[in-house]
Chains A and B, each alone.
Chain A
């Protein structure tokens, strides 16, 4: 077996050997640098799992408890490691359970390869057992998908899949392999990674003219404002971006997926954009004269009402995906290209500047926000616990070095607002799709992607109950994930909207929960529940110091609202502090 595998890994080898489609697949994954797979076996993918039995040393397969957990774990892995997440699922229900994760990865540009088993090719279209048309179901939520019915296609298609998933604007790719192709033996001549597809242009050509025009606008600007998104992280351009920000002296704000690309406490980092973002960045979006958007897509949660969004500003938009330029906001200067290349080109042409007065304006708004919101949220002295003070204490103890994985809802907004992030790839959250149940499985993957870092999953009582079966994955794999449930005994974000916009008509947001600590204990995971202020520090310390996973439930005040808030349909400058 050993000598055989040596020959297999030699892509230059002209000689062929006979292998099954399944072996060819696993060899391809190894050559592409895959070391962990999140998956769940089933009838139509059994030949691949049979081959995997002999590859246990090379490929670490993590058995999840549900395919949705598998794909979210793959996402978490991709987001912390920068590599392509690999997920296995069987046909039919196994494949359909991936759909939520595919949609999430698609909208958040996460590189994934999902391998699904499929019924024998001769059974396609016959309503065979566990047959579903996974290619058509997943077409809208994949960057690319393909059905393999012949084993000889496997090396080429897998190499295309990796190339497409990670190049350009990354995204999920699904490869459906019929059972006969998994079993079929063919003459295998090695694996060659793909680096060109003639119909696919991952990066648009950079035009010097636009770099020059953008630099001129920036150099003349009195009140320039940078807003950045995940593109900076996906493009691995954090250092280039920091240099650009520092040379230009321009205040810079982030979308939640861009968080951490430059540290939270960087002097030019003025905070978070959007519906629950910081006061200054939202209000001053409508006061800046040049808006420089980098690797972000003007999501409606960032822009609020579009016809009142930054109308006074000239807009420079840097993006690798040409379809994003002018999609929501009309640009003055479109800078198409990979920001790893466009940002340094721009940095070279801009003048070293400081914008002291303009920056001070952001700081003045900060003071308003601190007085009206932040102080009460982070340093309450009486009453029930707030989510903010828990995050604040966590910052103190982790010193901003942890990977923060959040679910969706109030706790997500609070965590994104207040978590201190010193490093890039530290804020893992479901941004575009808003998938409740994302955090627990994503945290498992995040830890595999960043094994030397502390990973803290911050989850609401609602979202935790959507994927809590993944505690079984934690138990079995022995992975070290710190789980913090911020329990307000409500589906808090919906409740907040019902309070503010539906006259307190709390319609089905009152959610009962089990004893979470007992649930964790049933999976052999240590836990603790607290509700008193004096216990926060010791409990967090206990969680962080515990060898292995730990579940900490924090009972927080029931009816707290996340502010500031840009109400739906309002302009960003109409942001409310209460």
Chain B
């Protein structure tokens, strides 16, 4: 995975956060993943988690693509039987975080670096301190978690891992009310919305 920033690329591609509300069903991950792989589109980050509603799952998918491609992908995802709703947003439209863990040798880090300064300047926390190694944790945007790699590299960084991205949509008012609509045989406008009527609306919805 490259360490690109999220600014818009000349090709019109930029990072999009695709949020998918689904039923909890075996095989659905594959059904969603092949929508990307069939078009040879790389998934930069994928997170599945529970949502605010019991039994409804939520996928957060990050891709670097044009808006047109992301809209078409989103429609294909929303077409899947067990998918309730898909939204896509640029980074500006979401609050997002990634979590990273760093394992470094305790003796070197204690001897050569000011641990206190590291923790303070990078918003890091110590998760474990052992005689042989120490594990730090940070959460933040990509460039923040990347920054600490660079800092720790000279001190013999043993292991690094970053989680998938989780994102909250700024404009969303949650899914509880929409779900009740979905449970009706005849849904209201909110659920069966035609996006063309809502030009200018920041979030995509069918």
A196–B75 CA distance with the chains assembled, in angstroms: 20
**Do B183 and A198 touch across chains, with their CB atoms under 8 A apart?**
yes
**Do B84 and A210 touch across chains, with their CB atoms under 8 A apart?**
no
Q: Which chain A positions have C-beta within 8 A of B75?
A: 322-323, 327
**Do A199 and B206 touch across chains, with their CB atoms under 8 A apart?**
no
**Do A143 and B27 touch across chains, with their CB atoms under 8 A apart?**
no
Q: Name A156-202 residues within 8 Å CB distance of B.
A: 164, 195-201
Q: Name B31-79 residues within 8 Å CB distance of A.
A: 31, 34, 38, 71-72, 75-76, 78-79
Q: Which chain B positions have C-beta within 8 A of A139?
A: 27, 30-31, 34
**Do B185 and A196 touch across chains, with their CB atoms under 8 A apart?**
yes
Q: Name A129-148 residues within 8 Å CB distance of B.
A: 135-136, 139-140, 143-147
Residue from B22, B34, B79, B194 in contact with A336 in the complex, judged by beta carbons closer than 8 Å = B194
**Do A334 and B196 touch across chains, with their CB atoms under 8 A apart?**
yes
Q: Given known contacts A139-B30, A198-B84, A323-B72, is B192 in contact with A204 (CB within 8 Å)?
A: yes
Q: Which chain B positions have C-beta within 8 A of A522?
A: none
Q: Does A207 contact B (CB under 8 A)?
A: yes
Residue from A164, A322, A327 in contact with B206 in the complex, judged by beta carbons closer than 8 Å = A322
B120 to A: closest C-beta gap in Å? 47
**Do B81 and A199 touch across chains, with their CB atoms under 8 A apart?**
yes
Interface of B is mostly: mixed
Q: Which residue of A lies closest to B31 (CB)?
A: A139
Per-residue CB contact flags for chain A residues 103-146 toward chain B (1 = under 8 Å, else 0) read: 00000000000000000000000000000000110011001111
Per-residue CB contact flags for chain A residues 307-347 toward chain B (1 = under 8 Å, else 0) read: 00000000000000111001100000010100000000000
**Do A201 and B187 touch across chains, with their CB atoms under 8 A apart?**
yes
A12–B76 CA distance with the chains assembled, in angstroms: 38
**Do B187 and A164 touch across chains, with their CB atoms under 8 A apart?**
no
Q: Which residue of A lies closest to B179 (CB)?
A: A198
Q: Given known contacts A140-B34, A205-B187, A323-B76, is B81 in contact with A200 (CB within 8 Å)?
A: yes
Q: Which residue of B lies closest to A335 (CB)?
A: B194
Q: Does B8 contact A (CB under 8 A)?
A: no
A194–B197 CA distance with the chains assembled, in angstroms: 32
**Do B194 and A207 touch across chains, with their CB atoms under 8 A apart?**
yes
Q: Does B116 contact A (CB under 8 A)?
A: no
**Do A199 and B83 touch across chains, with their CB atoms under 8 A apart?**
yes
**Residue among A197, A198, A321, A322 having the largest count of chain B Cβ atoms under 10 Å:** A198
Residue from A147, A197, A199 in contact with B22 in the complex, judged by beta carbons closer than 8 Å = A199
Q: Does A534 contact B (CB under 8 A)?
A: no
Q: Which chain A positions have C-beta within 8 A of B187?
A: 201, 205
A103 to B: closest C-beta gap in Å? 12
**Do B27 and A323 touch across chains, with their CB atoms under 8 A apart?**
no
| Residues of A in contact, count (CB < 8 Å) | 29
**Do A199 and B194 touch across chains, with their CB atoms under 8 A apart?**
no
| Residues of B in contact, count (CB < 8 Å) | 31
A144–B71 CA distance with the chains assembled, in angstroms: 22
**Do A199 and B82 touch across chains, with their CB atoms under 8 A apart?**
yes
A187–B182 CA distance with the chains assembled, in angstroms: 31
Per-residue CB contact flags for chain A residues 526-557 toward chain B (1 = under 8 Å, else 0) read: 00000000000000000000000000000000
**Do A205 and B182 touch across chains, with their CB atoms under 8 A apart?**
no
Per-residue CB contact flags for chain B residues 175-200 toward chain A (1 = under 8 Å, else 0) read: 00001001101010101111011000
Q: Which chain B positions have C-beta within 8 A of A334?
A: 194, 196
Residue from A140, A201, A327 in contact with B192 in the complex, judged by beta carbons closer than 8 Å = A201
Q: Which chain B positions have C-beta within 8 A of A210?
A: 194, 196
Q: Which residue of A lies closest to B56 (CB)?
A: A199
**Do B84 and A199 touch across chains, with their CB atoms under 8 A apart?**
yes
Q: Name A240-276 residues within 8 Å CB distance of B.
A: none
B99 to A: closest C-beta gap in Å? 29
Q: Does A2 contact B (CB under 8 A)?
A: no
Q: Does B92 contact A (CB under 8 A)?
A: no
**Residue among B31, B38, B193 having the largest count of chain A Cβ atoms under 10 Å:** B31
**Do B81 and A204 touch across chains, with their CB atoms under 8 A apart?**
no
Q: Given known contacts A321-B79, A322-B206, is B23 in contact with A199 (CB within 8 Å)?
A: yes
Q: Which chain B positions have C-beta within 8 A of A140?
A: 34, 38
Q: Which chain A positions have C-beta within 8 A of B196?
A: 210, 334
Q: Which chain B positions have C-beta within 8 A of A209?
A: 197
Q: Which chain B positions have C-beta within 8 A of A207?
A: 194, 197
A336–B179 CA distance with the chains assembled, in angstroms: 22
Q: Which residue of A lies closest to B192 (CB)?
A: A205
Q: Which residue of B lies closest to A201 (CB)?
A: B192
A552 to B: closest C-beta gap in Å? 42
A146–B82 CA distance with the chains assembled, in angstroms: 12
Q: Which chain A positions have C-beta within 8 A of B26?
A: 147
Q: Which chain B positions have C-beta within 8 A of A164?
A: 81
B201 to A: closest C-beta gap in Å? 15
Residue from B23, B71, B82, B206 in contact with A204 in the complex, judged by beta carbons closer than 8 Å = B206
**Do B182 and A199 touch across chains, with their CB atoms under 8 A apart?**
yes
Q: Which chain B positions have C-beta within 8 A of A327?
A: 72, 75
**Do A205 and B189 touch across chains, with their CB atoms under 8 A apart?**
yes
Q: Which residue of B lies closest to A197 (CB)?
A: B81
A198–B22 CA distance with the chains assembled, in angstroms: 10
Q: Which residue of A lies closest to B79 (CB)?
A: A323
Q: Which residue of A lies closest to B181 (CB)?
A: A198
A139–B34 CA distance with the chains assembled, in angstroms: 9
Can you pick out 29 interface pairs between chain A and chain B where the beta carbons lie within 8 Å of each other? A136-B27, A136-B30, A139-B27, A139-B30, A139-B31, A139-B34, A140-B38, A145-B27, A147-B27, A198-B182, A198-B183, A199-B23, A199-B83, A199-B182, A200-B82, A201-B191, A204-B194, A205-B193, A205-B194, A207-B197, A210-B194, A322-B78, A323-B75, A323-B78, A323-B79, A326-B71, A327-B75, A334-B196, A336-B194
Q: Which residues of B contact A (CB under 8 A)?
A: 22-23, 26-27, 30-31, 34, 38, 71-72, 75-76, 78-79, 81-84, 179, 182-183, 185, 187, 189, 191-194, 196-197, 206
17 more A-B residue pairs beyond the given contacts A144-B81, A199-B81, A210-B196, with a C-beta to C-beta distance below 8 A: A135-B27, A136-B27, A136-B30, A143-B81, A164-B81, A197-B81, A198-B183, A199-B84, A199-B182, A201-B187, A201-B192, A204-B192, A204-B194, A207-B197, A321-B79, A322-B79, A323-B75
